[in-house]
Each structure stands twice: as structure tokens, then as C-alpha cells.
Structure 1
Amino acid sequence: MKPQDIVAGKASSLWIFGYGSLVWKPDFAYRRSQVGYIQGYKRRFWHGDNFHRGNDELPGRVVTLIEDDDASTWGVAFEVTGAEVEESLKYLTVRETVRGGYVTKTVEFFPEGEKQPSVQALVYIATQENALYLGPASPEVIGVQIAVCRGKTGHNLEYLLRLAEFMRSSCPHVEDHHLFSIEAAALNVVSYLLAA
């Protein structure tokens, strides 16, 4: 199914893949959820956020997906059905597209565990064309930015720590070097600020 068909409300069942704040804070009704991964993308803190986790003067850093044939990204897929499809898409359009600048794509989601069939899932991705796209930086630079930013939804550090906690508890066999190096850098900044 094409993203435009899903958004047009032509789907009676829909899977939505989350790899950032959706993994711990979906905030929409769903039938079930499943931990798993998608292929061909890597998660990166390369997108700016001037609403949820930052502001216009100090945009926070949140994750997006970067195409990489050799990579995979772990997260959670949520199945929504019936009237929940339209309601969840309305909510996510505001949360991810209007306020976050993300576009929608469909990807193949592979649930964790043997003998589980893959499913097509909707995913939100921020591209380089977005005005809030910040691009790559060192873990130290990203860590400092995350440690000091805050938006209407809360502190940028909470976003980072909850994502790292999800990966450790739900995907302990996965080493997300990018995520964990930024977590370490941000916590170093916080320790320094608390000691000062």
C-alpha cells in the first residue's frame, strides 16, 4: 500500500514503525505492538526540533533515519485497526509532520523472533530538504546541544535517555554506537554542569 493511500484513510489495518519518541510515548490507540527492525536505514540525531524538545533559538536534536544499505534500525511497530487508523494518522500528522517536519514512507518491518512474517509499516523520516535538518556532528557537539535544550514536551535529555533505556531493555543484543556515544557525551555535560 502506498503512503498516500494510507493517509487518505483507505487502510482498515495499519502498522506504524517508531524509532524515536514513539517507542515509549506513542500517544495513540493501537491493537498491539511488536519490537523489531527495518533494514536499509540507520538512526541518527541529525534533525532539529524547535517545538517538542527545543525552540527557535535553541533547537533540540531528535532522531531521523538515514538511508544505508548495510544498516538496520530497531524500534517498535504498532498495529492500528478500524477507526483508530484515521484517528492515529490525524494525531501523527500534527505531531510528526506539521510540528516535526517529517515525511511518510512505507518500509518492511521485521518483528523480532523466528517465524514471524514481515509487514509493511508507515514510518516518519526527516529529510535534508527540511529547514530543521541539522545534519551530522560529533557525539560531543550533539551531546552538549541535547543537554541544554528544552521544548514544550520536555527536556531534550529526557528524549535521549528514554530512547537509550528502550534499546537497553527491549533490544539488549543490539549495539547502537551512535545513540550510546551521544548519551555518554550528554551525561558528561550534565555531570560537569552539576559540579560547577
Structure 2
Amino acid sequence: MIHDPLAEARLEDLPAHSQALLQAAERQWDREHGLMMFAYGSLMWNPGFEPAQTLVARVQGYHRALRLRSLVNRGSAEQPGLVMTLLSGGSCRGLLYRVAPQDSEATLHRLWLREMVVGTYVPRWLDCQCADGLGTRKALAFTLSRRSPGWVGDLADDRLLHILRHARGRYGTTLDYLTRAVTCLREHGIHDRALERQLALARSHGL
């Protein structure tokens, strides 16, 4: 049986900073249509909940980047890995999830336990332009400040290749994470040029 690290986790055990951010997010939440979440990384293929609706959507003003250091899930203290985040600037296409109102609060709390365990992300309610013409929806997304110690900054190709070759964590390798992200995006008709280039670089070096 695979151990679920969230099974025994409690909100009150999170850092005070993470708890304060949850309270702020709940104050800003318009609950009329349930919880709206913007997924751009692992939440796309492993949301951990059953959305009532899934739409392709675009966020303006933020872009997806494989720039967040991972010391547990996709790497280790000895060999840090990388996972996705949203950085300011540009735009990002991803998935907009709508959670049914009756499931929304429990889903939000579970996501907080998953994403905010160390309080690295900056949760924001962002405007998401839906691809099906339904207009703009306000959705919660986990962003990152470039002042965060978790941001790795610009990565030279040789450094990225070293990480993709060696980084492994609780849920697998950084390379597998990148591959899953590109595959999932393609399945939804989304082609992220930066990620496609990084994956092509890995393949060209036999990874």
C-alpha cells in the first residue's frame, strides 16, 4: 500500500505563514460557483480531487517555468530537483478546474496541505480566460516570487541536464515530471515552447 502523506496531515500543523495565507485566500473567495483552480503543473495530471468541470484556460501576466527547487518530491537535499511554478510576466495556458460547491472547502484545505506545507508558493486569485468562450473566471493559482529561496533563477543547459540526469525524490525524477507535463499539455492541445525545448534537450543527450 502506498503511504499518503496527506492522510494524517492537519492544517494547524502548517507553518503560521501558510495558515495566514489560507485565511486570506478564503476571505477573497467568491463561493457562488464553487472552487475554481488553475492547474499548470502536476495538478493537471494528478489533481487529487474530482472536478465538476475542466476547461482549457489562459492566465495573462504569469508564465509556467521549471524553476522551483524540490528537495523531497522530485529531488533530495543532496541533489535538488525541479518542479513547475508560475512566475510573473508573459502568459500561461493550463487547465481550469471547477469543484462543486459542496466539495469546495474540503478540496481547498487538502490542496493547501499538499501545496503549502512549507509556504513557498504565493497563492493568488487570477483572471483565467476560458477557451470555450465562457469569458473570464477568477481562479486560485500557486505562484512564486523571485525573492523566494526556492526559486533557482536562470538555468544553463548543462546545469539543467545534470538535474534531469540525477534528481530523484519521493514521487520520482525531475525528468519524469517534465515528461509528464509536456505529455499532459499536448493531450489538451497546449504546446509550451520552453518545456518542449527542455525535453528535446534531454532527449538529444540520451535521457
Q: 2: CA distance between counterparts of 1:146 and 1:91?
A: 29
| Cα drift, residue 99 of structure 1 | 4.7
| Cα drift, residue 137 of structure 1 | 0.9
Letter of the 2:31 partner, please give it.
A
Contact 1:16 1:123 (C-alpha < 8 Å) held by counterparts: yes
Distance 1:116 1:139, change over 3 A: farther
The answer to whether 1:60 aligns with 2:78 is no
Q: 1: CA distance between counterparts of 2:135 and 2:122?
A: 26
Q: Among 38, 41, 44, which residue is 1:17 paired with?
A: 38
The answer to whether 1:91 aligns with 2:91 is no
Task: Could you tell me which runs of 5 or more consecutive residues in structure 1 were left unpaired when the two chains were aligned.
Answer: none
| Cα drift, residue 4 of structure 1 | 4.4
Contact 1:37 1:72 (C-alpha < 8 Å) held by counterparts: yes
Contact 2:81 2:163 (C-alpha < 8 Å) held by counterparts: yes
The answer to whether 1:170 aligns with 2:188 is yes
Q: 2: CA distance between counterparts of 1:50 and 1:16?
A: 25
Contact 2:22 2:112 (C-alpha < 8 Å) held by counterparts: no
Normalising by structure 1, we get a TM-score of 0.84
The answer to whether 1:112 aligns with 2:131 is yes
Q: 2: CA distance between counterparts of 1:186 and 1:93?
A: 32
| Cα drift, residue 118 of structure 1 | 1.2
Normalising by structure 2, we get a TM-score of 0.80
The answer to whether 1:101 aligns with 2:120 is yes
Q: 2: CA distance between counterparts of 1:143 and 1:169?
A: 25
| Cα drift, residue 131 of structure 1 | 2.4
The answer to whether 1:187 aligns with 2:165 is no
Q: How does 1:22-171 map to 2 (within 5 A)?
A: 22-68=43-89, 71-99=90-118, 101-113=120-132, 115-171=133-189
Contact 1:51 1:99 (C-alpha < 8 Å) held by counterparts: no
Q: 1: CA distance between counterparts of 2:42 and 2:185?
A: 12
| Cα drift, residue 3 of structure 1 | 7.3
Contact 2:87 2:146 (C-alpha < 8 Å) held by counterparts: no
Q: 2: CA distance between counterparts of 1:31 and 1:99?
A: 29
Distance 1:67 1:43, change over 3 A: same
Q: 1: CA distance between counterparts of 2:113 and 2:77?
A: 18
Q: 1: CA distance between counterparts of 2:124 and 2:154?
A: 22
SS in 2 for 1:44: strand
Matched length = 185
Task: Could you tell me which runs of 5 or more consecutive residues in structure 2 were left unpaired when the two chains were aligned.
Answer: 1-20
Distance 1:183 1:99, change over 3 A: farther
